[in-house]
Chain A
Amino acid sequence: MKVEEQVRQTLEGLGVGDEAGVAGLFDGLRTQIERELAGLASADAGEQFRIRWLGRKQGLLTAANDNWLKPAPPALKRAVGRLLNEVKRQAEQSLEARRRELDAGSETARLAVQRLDVTLPGLRRPIGARHPVQIVIDEVQEIFLSMGYSVEEGPEIESDYYNFEALNMPREHPARDTQATLYVAGDYLLRTHTSPVQIRTMEKMQPPLRVIAPGRVYRRDNPDATHSFMFHQVEGFAVDTNITFCDLKGTLDYFFKRFYGEQVQTRFRPSFFPFTEPSAEVDISCIFCSGAGCRKCKQSGWIELFGAGMIDPALYGFVKYDERKYSGFAFGGGIDRLAMLRYGIEDIQLLFQGDLRFLQQFR
């Protein structure tokens, strides 16, 4: 007998007279409800199910209430009421659970439509790059700052006095020939090195001094892959009552190890600069071949980088320091060259073209 017909009859009509019969009857209902719920395929069907079973007026369980419970003999009434409530509650809960299941299914479908190809490239907001020369200046400053060096600056349009004369290069000095100079007018020129900052600083400050001075310098050199009429240098110097040649060696050795790596060796060779005595060329072991000899170091295993030395006492005369009391060292080198070696840049002109294909590599 179909459920619809069963609920239209009374217990008596159905021939049920004891509790066991009642329980069997409700088991049937339960089975039917579960079967129907399992068959639900959509939210609409869920609603139809609710109306069919739980509807306040036409619902099958409402009918069961009217036809089974109300006219039930007093001995069975209690059991019928309990089972009916149980079934009703179960039906409600199962429906709710089933509806959630159905919802989840349709959300999955909805979101599936919104799916992106996450392997496509992201939308990059452009970020600018630091110039390699800037990277090196920053790093050199940090290393020397950690050793107690302050940073000083000086003008690029410099006087002959600061660029040459006070650096122990009087007029007619042959060493002037080695620094092809661009002249402005009268006694003014474009500084050929950052060393004038040494004199300017010593003029205005008393020892102890530890200073570096990075900046632009100029030479009258025809541009090619290794020459530029404008480039960058860093000057450094220390003056105190206890500064020796060993300190110079230790300072630059520390610097180059910090800058290029612990494996780097430094080598000091005698040389000549009018503003230092004794003077040295400072080489580092080739960072490309670790000193074995390659094209970059011309098979020598060494790369010449800085000029250095003990500050020539003649300079103290220009700035009125007592040369018997103080001693100092000074060094200088090309920043562009430090950068070119660090990054393997083979043409200095690349640094000054503003080519974004080059610059963007230093993000």
Chain B
Amino acid sequence: MRLLSSWIREFVDIPADDRQLAADLTMAGVAVDSVAVEQGQAVLEADVTTNRPDAMNHYGVAREASAIYDRDLKPYRASPVESARPALGVASVEIADPDLCARYSARVILGVKVGPSPEWMVKRLEAAGTRSINNVADVTNYLLLELGHPLHAFDLDLLAGRRIIVRRGRAGERMATLDGVVRELTAQNLVIADGERPVAIAGVMGGLDSGIRDQTTNVLLESAWFEPRSIRGTARRFGMHTDASHRFERGADLGITAAGADRAAELIREVAGGEVLCGLIDVFPAPRPRPALLLRQTELERILGERVPPERVEQILRRLGFRLAADGAGQWMVEPPSFRLDVEREIDVIEEVARLFGYQRFPTRLPQWSGVARRAPHWHAERALRETARALGYSQTISFTLIAPRQAEPFSLTDPVRLANPLSEEASVMRPSIVPGLLNAVEWNLNRGTRAVRLFEIGKVYAGASGRYEEPSILGLAATGPVQEGPLHAAPRDMDFFDLKGDVEAVLDLFQCGRLYFDANAGADYYHPGRAARAAMDGETVARFGQLHPRMAAERKWRQPVLIAELYLDRLFCHGLRRPKYEPVSRVPAVDRDFSLVVPDAVAWERIESAVGRLGIQELAAVHPVEILRGGPVAAGSYGLLLRTVFQRPGQTLSDTEVNEWSARLIAALQELGIALRA
């Protein structure tokens, strides 16, 4: 909102320059962003919060200034020069729906001459950011800027029967508004009608064929008060937002309609000539008294933490237009003014006192406290994940959780959560998977010449519908390109499946787990069918990972394989972080036995490992695959495997006989899998 310093100063004597005024208004709640001098005028650019329609005009801001500087505010009054002819004999006003229109004040001016406004008015309007139209319309705009009350001027001769009836719209009624759009009316909309038809949508916009024209000579000026809720509903239904609706839906001043009409009539006579008929037409069927509020000094202190002297309390509130009655014992009955619909409770009055006393005058303190502070439930586990991922070389990324449906589609079996009013197709569904965001980030980096990419993200994915939504947490990893920088010190090598698997193992190793196993059932077709795995802890899937399907990589024109992993944190966190447990380190060296085996291709390592495990040999401390050979001396259909076993018994040496016996059992178990010792 643009405020002219000179206009404000017409209503109050301000003992400060414009820059100081701007600073003081800001600290009282009218945020002034800038002060500029334009064509000799000081213009304040201010933001007024939505709860303060009373301050969205020059007189309202002058009232704030009067409270800030404790100076008198000029009363807003006008007594237009009237002719002898009574207005009521020329036009009539009736409010049919007083629940939606509490007051309708009107003035009738006959014999005006519509034309350009005088220069002073044009200048003032333009400085405040409003374009001049004609002298009559300009007066209503002038009133809006000065007083904040929206007025409407009708061409009296276009009102059938010279009547105004404020009523609800009727089904089937239509009218063209000033913007040229034809509106279908319903009983939801309050309208201004004449003797025959609606001529304006009350509080929002006037009609196309009842407004001021160049040839208009007789004017009916409307200055009314409409129910905010109704105006808001109508404006929204029609998708309209006007200066008038903006004020009315935030609550206009029921008490100012008469003064507003008088002032406007006077101005019209001044700038457009004509005869102001005698008497204000003021239909005010239902006065709305505002209940007085109790304000307690004790409550002021309880909320604000500091005593505000009672004489300051009274001074502030009186300057703001409140009426007060003190009981002498630290309590007041406070009657809020008609323009302060936002003040309804004691706490609202306390805010008025606080903001004009000055927030800066309250000291800073730290509250007393006893109790305990808890971190979020999985904070430790999440931190462990983040730190491990970082140690493994992955940088943390955060990607948009809103993505395009085509990006979501390959990664979800069910419909993703869709937005009803997305900004764009590109951000219209909630991500069902952590993968698309990671792939976007990989792409971003590859396209910018970063070949070695290792990223992790911890975030939610979204699923569900109609009130039953789930937001499970996922750890996603993405890796591609060289394992280490090279080739200065070491030959470069790209990340492969087993690099990623090692990283996944390192992460899973943070958690307690009875039995962890891996198999090839990744169960998602965006993975390479032969290079993806699933990890299960105690029988429950906790991770999937592997190489992105080459088809998907090719679609993105990637020339290097990309590896991804998804870890399901809600399941993983059920296991709890592993706690270190100490076991004595044996002083007796372990015994290694190597077996050179020929294994059929169909036998995966996992089967060998479990077969060996099932033997139940306590002293078998470890089984490692040391080397795998294919081709050469090894016949097709099988592979050579060098298997290393480590036997150990804490504190005791092992005899050859024992180790030989275990080796024999081991070989027998392997033979059952079709595995042979190499000749």
Binding site for B on A (CB under 8 A): 120-121, 123-131, 133-134, 141, 145, 147-153, 155-157, 159, 172, 174-175, 177-178, 182-188, 190, 208, 210, 216, 218, 220-222, 229-230, 238, 240, 242-247, 249-251, 253-254, 267-272, 277-281, 298, 310, 312-313, 327, 351-357, 359-360
**In the complex, what residues of B have CB within 8 A of residue A222's CB?**
423
Complexed CA–CA distance, A188 and B448 (Å): 39
Within the complex, what minimum Cβ distance (angstroms) separates A155 from chain B? 6
Is the CB of B288 closer than 8 A to any CB of chain A?
no
Q: Are B306 and A360 touching (Cβ within 8 A)?
A: no
**In the complex, what residues of B have CB within 8 A of residue A250's CB?**
363-367
Q: Are A145 and B375 touching (Cβ within 8 A)?
A: yes
**In the complex, what residues of A have CB within 8 A of residue B418's CB?**
184-185
Binding site for A on B (CB under 8 A): 26-29, 31, 33, 49-52, 229, 232-233, 236, 249-250, 302-306, 345, 347-348, 350-351, 354-355, 359-360, 362-376, 379, 386, 389-402, 417-423, 427, 430, 437-438, 440-442, 444-445, 448, 450, 452-456, 460, 462, 464-467, 469, 471, 484-485, 488-490
Complexed CA–CA distance, A351 and B452 (Å): 20
Q: Are A188 and B489 touching (Cβ within 8 A)?
A: no
Within the complex, what minimum Cβ distance (angstroms) separates B445 from chain A? 5
Closest to B30 in A: A270
**In the complex, what residues of A have CB within 8 A of residue B462's CB?**
156-157
Closest to B459 in A: A216
Q: Are B471 and A185 touching (Cβ within 8 A)?
A: no
**In the complex, what residues of B have CB within 8 A of residue A172's CB?**
229, 232-233, 236
Q: Are B304 and A244 touching (Cβ within 8 A)?
A: yes
Q: Are A246 and B304 touching (Cβ within 8 A)?
A: yes
**Which of B399, B430, B485 meets A157, CB within 8 Å?**
B430
Q: Are B441 and A353 touching (Cβ within 8 A)?
A: yes
Contact A174:B249 (CB < 8 A) given known A130-B386, A151-B376:
yes
**Which of A120, A134, A246, A278 meets B351, CB within 8 Å?**
A278
Closest to A349 in B: B400
Q: Are A210 and B453 touching (Cβ within 8 A)?
A: no
Closest to A207 in B: B371
Q: Are A128 and B400 touching (Cβ within 8 A)?
A: no
Closest to B394 in A: A128
**In the complex, what residues of B have CB within 8 A of residue A148's CB?**
369, 371-373
Within the complex, what minimum Cβ distance (angstroms) separates B34 from chain A? 8
Within the complex, what minimum Cβ distance (angstroms) separates A181 from chain B? 8
Closest to A276 in B: B351
Complexed CA–CA distance, A4 and B512 (Å): 84
Q: Are B484 and A123 touching (Cβ within 8 A)?
A: yes
**Which of A124, A151, A356 meets B453, CB within 8 Å?**
A356
Q: Are A182 and B421 touching (Cβ within 8 A)?
A: yes
Closest to A124 in B: B485
Q: Are A354 and B397 touching (Cβ within 8 A)?
A: yes
**Which of A131, A177, A279 meets B397, CB within 8 Å?**
A131
Q: Are B366 and A127 touching (Cβ within 8 A)?
A: no
Q: Are B454 and A131 touching (Cβ within 8 A)?
A: no
13 cross-chain CB contacts under 8 A: A131-B396, A151-B375, A151-B376, A155-B469, A155-B471, A186-B466, A188-B467, A188-B469, A243-B367, A253-B364, A278-B355, A313-B345, A354-B438
- Given contacts A159-B467, A356-B450, list 20 more A-B pairs with CB under 8 A: A123-B488, A124-B484, A128-B392, A130-B396, A131-B398, A147-B369, A151-B376, A182-B402, A186-B466, A244-B302, A246-B362, A247-B305, A249-B365, A251-B366, A268-B359, A270-B28, A272-B29, A327-B302, A352-B399, A354-B444
**In the complex, what residues of A have CB within 8 A of residue B453's CB?**
356
**Which of B50, B445, B464 meets A355, CB within 8 Å?**
B445
Complexed CA–CA distance, A49 and B377 (Å): 81
Contact A185:B347 (CB < 8 A) given known A148-B371, A245-B305:
no
**In the complex, what residues of B have CB within 8 A of residue A312's CB?**
347
Within the complex, what minimum Cβ distance (angstroms) separates A316 from chain B? 11
Complexed CA–CA distance, A243 and B367 (Å): 7
Q: Are B395 and A269 touching (Cβ within 8 A)?
A: no
Q: Are A357 and B366 touching (Cβ within 8 A)?
A: no
Q: Are A278 and B379 touching (Cβ within 8 A)?
A: no
Q: Are B50 and A129 touching (Cβ within 8 A)?
A: no
**In the complex, what residues of A have CB within 8 A of residue B488's CB?**
120-121, 123
Q: Are A267 and B360 touching (Cβ within 8 A)?
A: yes
Q: Are A129 and B395 touching (Cβ within 8 A)?
A: yes
Determine chain A's interface SS by DSSP, over half rule: mixed
Complexed CA–CA distance, A279 and B347 (Å): 11
Closest to B478 in A: A354
Within the complex, what minimum Cβ distance (angstroms) separates B47 from chain A? 9
Within the complex, what minimum Cβ distance (angstroms) separates A186 from chain B? 6
Closest to B378 in A: A153
Q: Are B440 and A178 touching (Cβ within 8 A)?
A: no
Q: Are B367 and A240 touching (Cβ within 8 A)?
A: yes
List 4 A-B pairs, minimum CB-CB distance, nearest first: A354-B441, A244-B305, A270-B29, A246-B305
Contact A356:B445 (CB < 8 A) given known A127-B393, A128-B389:
yes
**In the complex, what residues of B have CB within 8 A of residue A298's CB?**
33
Within the complex, what minimum Cβ distance (angstroms) separates B50 from chain A? 5
Complexed CA–CA distance, A182 and B229 (Å): 23
Complexed CA–CA distance, A184 and B416 (Å): 11
Complexed CA–CA distance, A120 and B485 (Å): 14
Within the complex, what minimum Cβ distance (angstroms) separates A317 from chain B? 11
Q: Are A183 and B419 touching (Cβ within 8 A)?
A: yes
Complexed CA–CA distance, A310 and B302 (Å): 11
Complexed CA–CA distance, A277 and B344 (Å): 12
Q: Are B351 and A277 touching (Cβ within 8 A)?
A: yes
Complexed CA–CA distance, A278 and B305 (Å): 13
Q: Are A246 and B375 touching (Cβ within 8 A)?
A: no
Complexed CA–CA distance, A272 and B51 (Å): 7
Q: Are A125 and B362 touching (Cβ within 8 A)?
A: no
Complexed CA–CA distance, A280 and B49 (Å): 11
Q: Are B402 and A246 touching (Cβ within 8 A)?
A: no
Within the complex, what minimum Cβ distance (angstroms) separates B247 from chain A? 11
Complexed CA–CA distance, A165 and B548 (Å): 45
**In the complex, what residues of B have CB within 8 A of residue A124's CB?**
484-485
Q: Are B363 and A249 touching (Cβ within 8 A)?
A: yes
**Which of A150, A177, A183, A313 meets B373, CB within 8 Å?**
A150
Contact A247:B365 (CB < 8 A) given known A123-B489, A278-B354, A356-B453:
yes
Contact A126:B397 (CB < 8 A) given known A145-B375, A183-B421, A246-B363:
no
Complexed CA–CA distance, A281 and B30 (Å): 12
Within the complex, what minimum Cβ distance (angstroms) separates B101 from chain A? 18
Q: Are A128 and B391 touching (Cβ within 8 A)?
A: yes
**Which of A126, A141, A216, A230 meets B484, CB within 8 Å?**
A126
Closest to A240 in B: B367
**In the complex, what residues of B have CB within 8 A of residue A359's CB?**
395-397, 455
**Which of A174, A186, A254, A280 meets B250, CB within 8 Å?**
A174
**In the complex, what residues of A have CB within 8 A of residue B304's CB?**
244-246, 278
Contact A186:B391 (CB < 8 A) given known A172-B232, A327-B302:
no
**Max chain B Cβ within 10 angstroms of own Cβ: one of A127, A278, A327:** A278
Complexed CA–CA distance, A178 and B29 (Å): 17
**In the complex, what residues of A have CB within 8 A of residue B485's CB?**
123-124, 126
**Which of B302, B374, B395 meets A360, CB within 8 Å?**
B395
Closest to A246 in B: B305
Complexed CA–CA distance, A351 and B396 (Å): 11
Q: Are B419 and A125 touching (Cβ within 8 A)?
A: no
**In the complex, what residues of B have CB within 8 A of residue A131's CB?**
395-398
Complexed CA–CA distance, A172 and B229 (Å): 7
Closest to A354 in B: B441
Q: Are A270 and B390 touching (Cβ within 8 A)?
A: no
**Max chain A Cβ within 10 angstroms of own Cβ: one of B362, B363, B490:** B362
**In the complex, what residues of A have CB within 8 A of residue B366's CB?**
147, 247, 250-251, 254
Complexed CA–CA distance, A231 and B4 (Å): 37
Q: Are A150 and B450 touching (Cβ within 8 A)?
A: no
**In the complex, what residues of B have CB within 8 A of residue A244's CB?**
302-306, 365, 367
Within the complex, what minimum Cβ distance (angstroms) separates B499 from chain A? 12
Complexed CA–CA distance, A157 and B29 (Å): 33
Q: Are A185 and B420 touching (Cβ within 8 A)?
A: yes
Complexed CA–CA distance, A114 and B553 (Å): 45
